[in-house]
Structure 1
Amino acid sequence: MSKWFDETLERIKKATGTRTQVQLAEILNIRQSSISDAKRRSSIPAEWYIKLYKTHGLNPEWLSDGVEPVYMKPGKGKISADNILSETTAQYGQVPSRGRVVPVSSMAGEESGSEQWAPQQVGELNIPETFYRPSMVVLKVEGSSMEPAIRRNAFAGVDETQKRLMAGDIYAVHVPYQGVVIRRVFFDPENSRFILRPEDPQHPELYIAVQDQNKLVVGRVVWVMQEV
């Protein structure tokens, strides 16, 4: 029973990107002592499976017994258990970095004609473990509006917890009925709005009202991977 529990807990931690009990408790929205209790009993509470299905789309049967598919929600089934559970090594100079395979979403999202943006998987990417965070969505950059800083077909890691706009930083912002754009943000105090400015002046500036930032901002771009 202890071996089954350890394997199940390992699948949960790998799939959610957590390493410590503190991180796992935060993901599950429970007290850390609840994890210690589960370990002592060698039993995974049923509500954990329900929460992980609702928040991450994870298949309870895979978590419990390793039976694929990993995901039960549309758009996530392309990632195999082998990819999630494997750990690869990427070299940056002489420093080895553990790798993680993550889903990549299109900027158009699940439904381009919607007021709300939802990610739609179009591929996978192996990123250094240090790049990963549970609150991240990875976008495949479409278009040339941010060239030369961010080129077409680059991959942009967006932290969805960082929605508060800070002047000069780069954010992913949802434009209703169009999809997500990536722009550098500046504040326009005279009109109480934010300017979404492209790097390439051939592309237009966009604007969002101050009160709309929490609704429209997907998150801050925290890293970019692209060919040199």
Structure 2
Amino acid sequence: MLRYIDVLGLDIQDYLPKAATIRRPAPNAPVEKADADGSVAIHVYALAGAGPAFDLEENDPLATIRVPLEYAMQCDSALLVKGDSMAWTIKSGGVVGVIRRNFDFVSGEVYAVRLPYEGLSIKRVIVDAASGEYIIRSDNPDKEKYPDRRLSITEYADIILGRVVWVWQAV
């Protein structure tokens, strides 16, 4: 097999399993190896958009990842992320751990949100108290492609479904 890969001019690294890292979504958060000793399996049953929103929940896992036990205990669900609006914080194909119950809202953090007419997305949510609005922001610096979106807090009080507490990504 290795000979065929060599003859075809392919890189063997493209066919080997990739390592994964895990970290909190805060800037400058330390990056850890995701599948270190003591890691546990987490099943991913839903897909969220980072770009166009998705709304997909499956009975069978979409993926299974391994994370350190301390990270697994911080969340009650994991979402597969598709799209690049949250790059570099979250790459397309990454998985986020989300706490959906009893979380404190902190303006400027990353959340799973259900956007009107779009569905489930991962975005940074900022409160503009002066205007009474949520600012739904993508971390991707291309603001022409991913502009901020403003939603009235009173009209859309229930859009925040949970807080992203960790990001798992293949490296």
Alignment partners' CA distance in 2, 1:129 and 1:219: 20
Matches within 5 A, 1:1-228: 90-91=35-36, 96-107=37-48, 108-110=54-56, 119-120=57-58, 121-133=61-73, 136-162=76-102, 164-200=104-140, 201=143, 202-211=145-154, 215-228=158-171
Give yes or no for contact 2:42–2:72 (8 Å, CA) kept in 1: no
Alignment partners' CA distance in 1, 2:74 and 2:139: 29
Alignment partners' CA distance in 2, 1:212 and 1:158: 24
Give yes or no for contact 2:46–2:78 (8 Å, CA) kept in 1: yes
Alignment partners' CA distance in 1, 2:96 and 2:38: 19
Alignment partners' CA distance in 2, 1:158 and 1:227: 18
- What residue number does 2:51 align with? none
Give yes or no for contact 1:163–1:217 (8 Å, CA) kept in 2: no
Give yes or no for contact 1:163–1:213 (8 Å, CA) kept in 2: no
Displacement of 1:209 after TM fit?
A: 2.6
Aligned-pair Cα RMSD in Å: 2.5
Q: Summarize the Cα distance change of 1:128–1:179 in structure 2 as closer, same or farther, 3 Å threshold.
A: same
Displacement of 1:199 after TM fit?
A: 1.0
Identity of aligned residues (%): 24
Greater CA deviation, 155-164 or 192-201? 155-164
Structure 2: runs of 5 or more not aligned: 1-33, 49-53
Alignment partners' CA distance in 1, 2:170 and 2:76: 21
Q: Which runs of 4+ in 1 moved over 6 A?
A: none
Rg larger for:
1
> TM-score by structure 2 length?
0.64
Displacement of 1:190 after TM fit?
A: 2.4
Q: Summarize the Cα distance change of 1:100–1:223 in structure 2 as closer, same or farther, 3 Å threshold.
A: same
Q: Deviations over 1:21-54 (max 9, x none)?
A: xxxxxxxxxxxxxxxxxxxxxxxxxxxxxxxxxx
Displacement of 1:214 after TM fit?
A: 5.2
Amino acid in structure 1 at the alignment position of 2:55 = G
Q: Deviations over 1:49-74 (max 9, x none)?
A: xxxxxxxxxxxxxxxxxxxxxxxxxx
How many equivalent residue pairs?
Answer: 128
Amino acid in structure 1 at the alignment position of 2:46 = S
Alignment partners' CA distance in 1, 2:117 and 2:97: 22
Amino acid in structure 1 at the alignment position of 2:150 = Y
Which SS does the other structure have where 1:211 is aligned? coil
